[in-house]
Amino acid sequence: METRKISVIIPVYNEEKYISEVIESINDQSWDGPIEIIIIDGNSTDSTRNQVLDKANNLKANREIKLLTNPHRAIPRSLNMACEAASSKIIVRIDGHTKAPENYISEAVTTLESIEFNGIAGGRLRISPGSGTLVSTAISTAVCHPFGIGNASYRTYQGIDMVETDTVPFGAFTKETWQLLGGYDEELLGDEDYDFCLRARARGLRILLNPAIILEYYSRPTYIDLWQQYYRYGYWTTRTFAKHKKVPAFRKCIPFLFTATLLFFAFFIPALFFLQFILYMGAAVFFAFKASRSIKKPKILFRLCLLLSFPTLHFSYGFGNMIGIASLILKKRS
């Protein structure tokens, strides 16, 4: 397969804070072949488009930017538009607030070569605070901690060898793979990447995580942003479960089971509600203290912020699951 030209696809909406750095990280790739950067903007209302156009005039000789517009804003639609517009055989995805290491493309191609281009390749996420506040630092810690996020290998894996996994962030794949899978499911307005990987595995394709790829992802800066993000994840995860009629990863069920049982006990068995809540908060305190050992910021305040971050993650995802299930039941009845 001819692999010299690479298409990098980036869906964006109001990413003025990060988009210039993201484009620079692609422009500065160690890959010496041509790279087309396809940016799909969901009608941003900030300066995102202007920054993209400005960066388009300051790229290396073999780099170019194509700016498309998706008036519907939905990420799966943006991704399909970008893949359709891609003129190369290999597509590398990245997010609008994620910086790529200079080896991203070269390592992604190497990983795809190791499985004869029959699958999806990706790396690990290194979570950085979305702002300089103590709350943002605590959130970035929570979303990569096993207690906060479970056993997602792309956030917790510390090995040095490539490993097969259930999903990778963003991912690199061939245009042929995208066509084989029928593209991203545009009815899933969240969890579309997990669904994409699920369908790939069902086709016998491999999902490979290369720990040499470390993408720098900026977490949400406030609790409100975090709640909205993980509520959306939880809501759309239930749609993925319903679509595939199975539970693909147990870690995705834990917030729902925890939240549902807590509510059940609160209404019907108050003693068990208090017991479950106390045990949960005890675990949260333990992990907050453990995670704060290497933090140089004020430890007491950081621990308090982290104590709020964990339940924000878990309850938002759990309630998203519950509302998602309820909406499916109502949809089926109607």
The alpha carbon of residue 65 and the mean position of all alpha carbons in its chain are separated, in whole angstroms, by 23
Categorize the per-residue pLDDT at 76 as very low, low, confident or very high, splitting at 50, 70 and 90.
Answer: very high
Domain with CATH 3.90.550.10 in the chain: 6-221
**Residue 103, burial from CB neighbour count under 10 angstroms (0-12, 13-18, 19+):** middle
> What is the amino acid identity at position 95?
D
Tokens, residue 297: 């910021």
Looking at the DSSP assignment, which residues form a beta bridge with residue 37?
8, 65
pLDDT at 153: 83
Kindly state the average pLDDT of the residues 194-209.
96
Helix (H, G, I), strand (E, B) or coil at 155: helix
Please name the residues in contact with 138: beta carbons below 8 A apart, sequence gap of 6 or more.
302, 305, 306, 308, 309
First to last CA, the chain: 49
75-84, 96-105, 149-158, 171-180: least confidently modelled range: 149-158
Helix H, strand E, coil C: the string for 30-55 is CCCCCEEEEEEECCCCCCHHHHHHHH
> How do residues 16-43 score in pLDDT, each as one tens digit?
999 999 999 999 999 999 999 999 999 9
pLDDT at 64: 97
> According to CATH, what is the number of the domain 6-221?
3.90.550.10
pLDDT at 211: 95
- Max Cα-Cα span within the chain: 68
153-157, 233-237, 261-265: least confidently modelled range: 153-157
Q: What is the mean pLDDT of the chain?
A: 93
> How do residues 209-227 score in pLDDT, each as one tens digit?
999 999 999 999 999 999 9
Q: What are phi and psi for residue 242, nearest 5 degrees?
A: -65, -40
> What is the amino acid identity at position 326?
A
What is the distance between the alpha carbons of residues 46 and 16, in angstroms, rounded to a whole number? 7
Spatial contact of 38 and 7, defined as CB atoms under 8 Å apart = yes
Give start and end residues of each alpha helix (H) in 207-269: 223-244, 254-268
